[in-house]
Structure 1
């Protein structure tokens, strides 16, 4: 059994930088940027001292709202040295969601880029904090976000009221190395160091509190399952704001001394170019990403012969896609990981030496030091092999809890420490798991967790909507798409296009219903509860999606 590592994120980076000082730590092929582990560690120390100079205390919350830029990775390990909790913000979030997250998380400092192709972050933050434009950097006094004091901008042309990232680097000389070392030494591996918002299976997004101990040991297990060493180079096109990016990606590289090769914003061509140029040995992605990369390989030849392994995860993995990644991209040791943010995130994983049929049809066995079992949702009794039930997990990887949500935490983690995932699955006689569905009705679209109630609550604000039920329907590209069944108010004439237009720029693009069907009633139980599974079946029939519904996944 793998020995658990009681170290902090800052201590881990020090250890690896001492062991592999001249080895590449972080490479951006399109920026011509390359840091060795020694250089990367020194840069993270500089940022950590800058944050201390800004006045950030151990345990204070600092949010990062950016694509996979170099500053994201640096901040992840800098906060791991000086003890602020890194709160990750989904790059797709719009005003409503950003306000909720910053307020609920008690964030005092926000680090951000200018925006993406579909979102202007500067406009959003100025809409939330109109006081920012007239504030001195560090002295924001916002009515809507009273805890937020600092906004740090990554990029040129710093907007009014914000610090620039370069200011933080310059402030580092106000703090001595001894002061940083003392701060780092005061941290405990059981401190929360990372907070990620997940829709989970109930209600509005919840802040999952993950500790140094959670994520470092999960990364060790992931690295072991992939046979990762300092010789590996991992292409990371999955977003850092998910555990997939910042645990299975960056942290897994650092625990093994491997090289991080991020792609700032996913594009299949950029991924294939990066693999070819840097001779990456591994690549991560949700099934949607791999499908697009395979389509690109049909159009043009790229040299992916350096690939050995990687992880496909985030939503159910179609078996044929797994086979194509092995055969056409050459990733003969590709693995599948199953888990959730609340589990830091991995619970089970296939191994590189598993037979190919198990690697494409299951999500593997439990990772070291983690237990998992299948429980009957009705009785709570443990299910025998081959019988479907809810997957529950226990071990070092289970989160500290949901931030400021003790009741939700108690619902997720029982008195004996078992995390109830809300996912349905079966386990075979050899301990291999298959995911068969979800206990509740969460939608997973292209690796993004979407909770229907959040979209329903939003659509209820439309003046002509009487009632709405949101379900997921199968999609070849994304695994699932959002569908809204809407009951219009009497006499109202609504169209799909009007509903979609109403959502634009108010909720994240991936949450906007791809399909809208109008109805005058919903199927219900005897007690009047809407039967969403029947709505889903009806939608599949009406939209002719039967073939997609029958695609076999692991």
Structure 2
């Protein structure tokens, strides 16, 4: 936290720990030397446990097989599927060879995946063993898989082979272009094995290591390239914030980190890479989100820390048998993606000691702020303080640094930021200027201590009577009503003002009946937000539409509200 009182909205946070020059693979080797027999990953639903040494052995074997098929540094390998061991084995194999891992979300439409595979010229596609429809979706995209007489993949000229986690139904494809995991692991020769570690130590920290795709709420997802340096040092900083948290004292030997996101999501960065850097154990709670399985895993595996989207924690706390589970090990929950309503926060505090706000985006590894010891007023207001090594500033409409407590666009600069969008030079320049500042598109304000409060997205601004209104401010206010479970604020067309404010609210019910009226919620807002922000409309919803990453979809909610407009205006 800043030692001086700020007057302008700029802060540079000193870093507590030195940077490392090691790549993911090199850091992994060092950690394996230290704790070879410790569990690295536990796949709860699959009942699989992998130690650090076992992960090294298997990932090196996988890497050697990649070498045997001609894969080399800079090539791209795509990953698609649910959370299984083969996903991580392939990921660490890529890191050791300098191959760039391209991660696709499970829910990504086949049409988008088709375009991105071709755009990135991926040579290999790794399919994990579930879900059941993954094979059918792959065949829909690559029709040659139906015809075993076809040579290669004519519709994907850069794609050379596919690896499948199951006993693949494509095993007899001509030219052996498709391998199940067991067969693939046997391809390597001893010569290939001997090369892996040598290649690993030749990789540079500034080489690209992974490509995440953005959520794609406005058009095709952007392939976001990140370096080894960003990944390793961001994982190290994820641990530094925990100094002083009682019961931890930065002793990572006791940490068991729960993975609640799909591996392809940038929000899953910590569960994938914290073991490499910090030597902790990651518990992979489920293949695809399931609140009941998550609760069982927390209890049986004694999970100590976890990252949640709001719909995850809401589903967990809504389990009818929630009291049957023991959550006493769970000490820190990191909240991502949405403001946490007061009623939900109070319920969560009954089972989780520390709840902290995360902030980030795909372009920043989705995690540049996360502090469980932040002051209560900060946590209640969903504000955040950046990691060490980060610079943040709030820029006004004139392009200058704004005074404190004044809204403007949040700009960030520092080590976790993305390198570029693959094949998108103009979009890269629009996001990242010549001085290295990322223009986030988030409307924010900074207080005298350096804490930053997100007020909304530029693209989400409601323009009412020619005045820009940030939805997040009203969402924050409404979330403090004791009957509100979650809230999303959108703009709806209006003949007189251009747009009007509509609050879409999920509320607590008793005996099947809602516990608050629309008029009461509107009145609750008066005096807490600017008069223009007081909603004209309130819509009660049971659940919100979500993106494929699990975040609330404001775009889809707006469409639904517009369709309901005749109901709203009654």
Whether the 8 Å CA contact 2:83–2:128 is kept in 1: the answer is no
- Which of 207, 219, 235 is residue 191 of structure 1 equivalent to? 207
Matched, 1:166 2:182: yes
Structure 1 unmatched runs, 5+: 445-451, 453-468, 478-507, 518-535, 546-554
Matched, 1:256 2:268: no
Paired with 2:380 and 2:189, the residues of 1 have a C-alpha distance of 52
Paired with 1:136 and 1:280, the residues of 2 have a C-alpha distance of 49
Q: After TM superposition, give the deviation of residue 433 of structure 1 in Å.
A: 1.2
Paired with 2:503 and 2:185, the residues of 1 have a C-alpha distance of 47
Q: Which residue is 1:29 aligned to?
A: 44
1:62-109 CA distance string (max 9 Å, x none) = 001011111112222111111111101110122212112212221111
- Inter-CA distance 475–220: structure 2 relative to 1 (3 Å threshold): farther
* SS across alignment from 1:407: helix
Q: After TM superposition, give the deviation of residue 184 of structure 1 in Å.
A: 0.8
- Which of 158, 162, 177 is residue 147 of structure 1 equivalent to? 158
Q: After TM superposition, give the deviation of residue 185 of structure 1 in Å.
A: 1.8
Paired with 1:402 and 1:14, the residues of 2 have a C-alpha distance of 29
Equivalent positions of 1:79-94 (< 5 A) are: 79-94=94-109
Paired with 1:385 and 1:59, the residues of 2 have a C-alpha distance of 44
Paired with 2:566 and 2:85, the residues of 1 have a C-alpha distance of 46
Whether the 8 Å CA contact 1:201–1:440 is kept in 2: the answer is no
Q: Which residue is 1:126 aligned to?
A: 139
Paired with 2:414 and 2:217, the residues of 1 have a C-alpha distance of 21
Q: Which residue is 1:530 aligned to?
A: none
Q: After TM superposition, give the deviation of residue 215 of structure 1 in Å.
A: 1.1
* SS across alignment from 1:372: strand
Whether the 8 Å CA contact 1:374–1:390 is kept in 2: the answer is yes
Deviates most, 92-101 or 272-281? 92-101
- Which of 353, 377, 394 is residue 374 of structure 1 equivalent to? 394
1:131-166 CA distance string (max 9 Å, x none) = 2333589x62322x2211211111124325321111
Q: Which residue is 1:108 aligned to?
A: 123
* SS across alignment from 1:159: coil
- Inter-CA distance 409–202: structure 2 relative to 1 (3 Å threshold): farther
Q: After TM superposition, give the deviation of residue 475 of structure 1 in Å.
A: 5.6
Q: After TM superposition, give the deviation of residue 264 of structure 1 in Å.
A: 1.5
Q: After TM superposition, give the deviation of residue 380 of structure 1 in Å.
A: 1.2
> How many residues were matched structurally?
463
1:484-526 CA distance string (max 9 Å, x none) = xxxxxxxxxxxxxxxxxxxxxxxx9998956756xxxxxxxxx
Kindly indicate whether structure 1 or structure 2 has the higher relative contact order, using CA contacts under 8 Å at least 6 residues apart: 2
* SS across alignment from 2:319: helix
Q: Which residue is 2:67 aligned to?
A: 52
Q: Which residue is 2:385 aligned to?
A: 365
Q: Which residue is 1:42 aligned to?
A: 57
Deviates most, 170-179 or 40-49? 170-179
1:182-234 CA distance string (max 9 Å, x none) = 21122111111100111467542110001111111111111222455121001
Deviates most, 410-419 or 120-129? 120-129
Q: After TM superposition, give the deviation of residue 472 of structure 1 in Å.
A: 10
Paired with 2:568 and 2:328, the residues of 1 have a C-alpha distance of 39
Paired with 1:68 and 1:98, the residues of 2 have a C-alpha distance of 18
Whether the 8 Å CA contact 2:63–2:196 is kept in 1: the answer is yes
- The TM-score with structure 1 as length reference comes to 0.77
Structure 2 unmatched runs, 5+: 1-14, 244-249, 462-470, 473-489, 491-498, 508-549
